[in-house]
Amino acid sequence: MQLNGMTSLSFSTADDPFYKSAVGKFYPECVVLDRDGKELCRINHKNKKSEEFALTYLEDFRDKALKINDDRKI
């Protein structure tokens, strides 16, 4: 399934970029909804891949020398 006709995209942050705990408390999440609000897909640290929507959850994706704030992404 392709994401043709996407009408909105939302981003938010929930952690302090200047303080990193040893155990992560917040994780990025992507939720794909249809026009009626039905959840089609959810990608996060527990469900890491969707073949249907070509989404993948990644950790430590940056070069260690360039890494500043973000450790995770979708």
pLDDT tens figures, 3-49: 667 777 776 666 566 666 666 666 788 888 888 889 999 998 899 99
All residues at 6 or more sequence positions from 56 whose CB lies less than 8 Å from its CB, including other chains: 43, 48, 49, 50, 74
Q: How much is the average pLDDT of 40-65? A: 85
Q: How much is the average pLDDT of 58-67? A: 69
For residue 35, the model assigns a pLDDT of 85
For residue 42, the model assigns a pLDDT of 93
CA distance 15 to 23: 12
For residue 25, the model assigns a pLDDT of 66
